[in-house]
């Protein structure tokens, strides 16, 4: 209630000051500028208290939890899962590029990504090679570490 009383007092005083200022307004070239300044002053006196209403607390309102909260959390889980899958696919493609750079076509690539504090971290990549390509394992490990900073584990698969 004090806020409304204070606002009403401010508006009345601003109107009084604006009226007095309007009576002593100069005539001529500066008249329009002066009246604009007085009008702007009065408008600010009207609007500033309204903008400060955000500081007024209306008390705590406890709204019941709705299905939107559960839908939001399940949607966030789906988005996180998709983001992790996209990250794994992209990293898998980069590891595959390292393999082909070494002249090897991998049978499979498995990426282990861990979500720690809402940040994805690549733990390691597992590359499955043919028996005949196992000799290139060290070159693939080195290329992946140098180019991607990823630890690669080489595993022998079936031809």
The per-residue pLDDT for range 130-139, each reduced to its tens digit, is 888 889 989 9
Exposure string for 47-79, b = 16+ CB within 10 A, e = fewer:
eeeeeeeeeeeeeeeeeeeeeeeeeeeeeeeee
Tell whether the model's pLDDT for residue 67 goes beyond 70: no
Tell whether the model's pLDDT for residue 61 goes beyond 60: no
Q: pLDDT band at 69, cuts 50/70/90?
A: low
CATH class of the domain comprising 85-156: alpha beta
Mean pLDDT value of segment 105-122: 82
Mean pLDDT for all residues in the chain:
79
Which tokens sit at 100? 């082909």
Mean pLDDT value of segment 112-137: 83
Mean pLDDT value of segment 32-57: 74
Q: For residues 80 and 135, which has the higher predicted lDDT (pLDDT)?
A: 135
Instruction: Look at residue 57 in the predicted model and tell me its pLDDT.
Output: 54
Mean pLDDT value of segment 104-118: 83
For residue 108, what are the β-bridge partners?
A: 128
Tell whether the model's pLDDT for residue 144 goes beyond 80: yes
Q: What's the pLDDT tens digit per position in 19-31?
A: 787 777 777 778 8
Tell whether the model's pLDDT for residue 127 goes beyond 80: yes
């Amino acid at each position: 209630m004090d806020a409304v009383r204070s606002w009403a007092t401010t508006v009345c005083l601003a109107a009084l000051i604006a009226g007095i200022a309007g009576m002593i307004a100069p005539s001529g070239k500066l008249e329009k500028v002066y009246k604009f300044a007085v009008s702007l002053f009065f408008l600010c006196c009207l609007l500033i208290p309204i903008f400060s209403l955000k500081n007024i607390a209306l008390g705590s309102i406890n709204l019941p939890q709705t299905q939107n909260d559960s839908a939001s959390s399940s949607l966030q889980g789906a988005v996180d899962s998709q983001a992790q899958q996209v990250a794994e696919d992209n990293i898998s493609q980069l590891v595959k590029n390292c393999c082909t750079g070494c002249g090897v076509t991998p049978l499979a690539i498995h990426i282990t990504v861990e979500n720690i504090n809402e940040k994805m971290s690549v733990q390691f990549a597992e590359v499955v090679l043919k028996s005949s390509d196992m000799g290139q394992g060290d070159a693939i490990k080195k290329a992946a570490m140098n180019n991607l900073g990823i630890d690669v584990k080489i595993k022998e698969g079936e031809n």
